[in-house]
Amino acid sequence: GDSVTQMEGPVTLSEEAFLTINCTYTATGYPSLFWYVQYPGEGLQLLLKATKADDKGSNKGFEATYRKETTSFHLEKGSVQVSDSAVYFCALTHQGGSEKLVFGKGTKLTVNP
Amino acid sequence: EAGVTQFPSHSVIEKGQTVTLRCDPISGHDNLYWYRRVMGKEIKFLLHFVKESKQDESGMPNNRFLAERTGGTYSTLKVQPAELEDSGVYFCASSQETGGPEKLFFGSGTQLSVL
Confidence category of residue B61, pLDDT binned at 50, 70, 90: very high
Q: Which residues of B touch A4 (CB under 8 A)?
A: 42
Burial class (CB in 10 A: 0-12, 13-18, 19+), A55: middle
Q: How far apart are CA B25 and CA B14, in angstroms?
A: 28
Q: How far apart are CA A48 and CA A62, in angstroms?
A: 8
Residue B1 has pLDDT above 70, yes or no: no
Phi and psi at B101, nearest 5°, equal -60, -20
The pLDDT of residue A1: 82
Residue B99 has pLDDT above 80, yes or no: no
Nearest-CA neighbor of A64 among A108, A23, A13? Answer: A23
Q: DSSP letter at A24?
A: E
* pLDDT cut 90: percent of chain A above it: 81
Is B45 in contact with A91 (Cβ distance < 8 A)? no
Instruction: Kindly report whether the peptide bond that precedes residue B8 is cis, defined as omega within 30 degrees of 0.
Output: yes
Longest dimension (CA), chain B: 39
Q: Which residue of A has its CA nearest to B96?
A: A99
Give per-residue pLDDT as tens, A56-111: 999 999 999 999 999 999 999 999 999 999 999 999 997 656 678 999 999 999 99
| Under 8 Å between Cβ of B22 and B6 | yes
H helix or E strand, kind and range, residue A6 = strand A3-6
The pLDDT of residue A33: 94
Give per-residue pLDDT as tens, B100-115: 787 889 999 999 999 9
Q: Which residue of B has its CA nearest to A107?
A: B40
The pLDDT of residue A39: 94
The overall average pLDDT reported for chain B is 93
The pLDDT of residue A95: 62
